[in-house]
Structure 1
Amino acid sequence: MTKQEFAKMLADRAGLDSAAQGGIVIDTVLESIRDELASGGTVALKGFGRFSTLDRKARAGRNPRTGQTIQIKACRVARFTPGRELRNSVNSSHFGTDWLKFKDLYSRVDYFKGKIESKIKNADQLGKEARRYLDKAHALYEDASEQLRKASDSSGKAWADVKDGLEKAYSELKDAWEKARKHF
């Protein structure tokens, strides 16, 4: 995947206006990581991994072309240690790369649930129709959560069913959110 493809995907998933905005986000994140590492710090992203630096001592090496012994200077190198969730998704025998798409979809469903709940202080503020949309959205979220739990122990067809169900739940949750928002 190229940086431009990554920027477009980021823009689509985050609801940004353009791939150019996705590129700005990528550049900002990478620059922030680079600055922190340059100052000797670390950047830990839970579930994804940890960026850090390592000081290497001066040592003797060998020129691969001539076989001659050379002296390698001491230096600081950047290092990345993948997190457990990233290692599991890369090595998953059932899910492969679709696991990351599934996690992204699940996160978006969770985001909309949070948005709906944050707008509502108590149930008396809702009309009957808006309350019905919120209840449906909550039921969809609970169903998606249950499917996620089941998916982690399943494979093949079960994974496809979970993915399809979650995509439908996300779509319905988004529609319910829009309809409920009109009532506030």
Structure 2
Amino acid sequence: MTKNDIAVELCKRIPDLPKSTALHVVDGVTDILSDAFDRGENVYLRGFGTMEVKTTKEKKARNINAGTTVVVPAQRIVKFKLSNQLKNRMNNGTVD
């Protein structure tokens, strides 16, 4: 699903919402989430899930083509954990 697809779905659920406004809303939400991740903040959306900023450890890896060992630096990633409600909905078609 793309940003455009999300905007189209918003327009279907909110009939008076123009598509251009829906696209601005989707862009605004993604900007807010990106800014929060840049600051190292976790995002909690009740009933949906948690997006948590984690830092991976530096590690060694093999470059198979060159036959050398390379160091992969530590980096920040975002881990997503589904809420129990969404997990149940996906697996059972039910909501708690």
Measured against the shorter chain, the TM-score band is 0.7 to 0.9
Residues 109-168 of structure 1: CA distance to partner in whole angstroms, max 9, x if unpaired? xxxxxxxxxxxxxxxxxxxxxxxxxxxxxxxxxxxxxxxxxxx8xxxxxxxxxxxxxxxx
| 1:21 pairs with 2:21 | yes
Cα distance, 1:67–1:13 mapped onto 2, change above 3 Å: farther
- Larger-gyration structure (1/2): 1
Cα distance, 1:72–1:51 mapped onto 2, change above 3 Å: same
Aligned CA RMSD, in angstroms, stands at 2.1
Cα distance, 1:78–1:65 mapped onto 2, change above 3 Å: farther
Q: State the match for 2:74 in structure 1.
A: 74
Cα distance, 1:23–1:17 mapped onto 2, change above 3 Å: same
Partners in 1 of 2:46 and 2:64 — Cα distance?
39
Shift of 1:62: 2.1
Partners in 2 of 1:50 and 1:64 — Cα distance?
36
Partners in 2 of 1:64 and 1:6 — Cα distance?
41
Give the conservation status (yes or no) of the 8 Å contact 1:8–1:18. no
Give the conservation status (yes or no) of the 8 Å contact 1:52–1:80. yes
Partners in 2 of 1:46 and 1:34 — Cα distance?
19
**Bigger relative contact order, structure 1 or 2, given CA contacts below 8 A and separation 6+?**
2
Count of residue correspondences:
96
Cα distance, 1:42–1:63 mapped onto 2, change above 3 Å: same
Q: State the match for 1:61 in structure 2.
A: 61
Q: How does 1:33-182 map to 2 (within 5 A)?
A: 33-66=33-66, 68-92=68-92, 95=93
Identity of aligned residues (%): 28
Say which structure is richer in strand: 2
Cα distance, 1:16–1:67 mapped onto 2, change above 3 Å: farther
The answer for unaligned runs of 5 or more in structure 1 is 104-151, 153-184
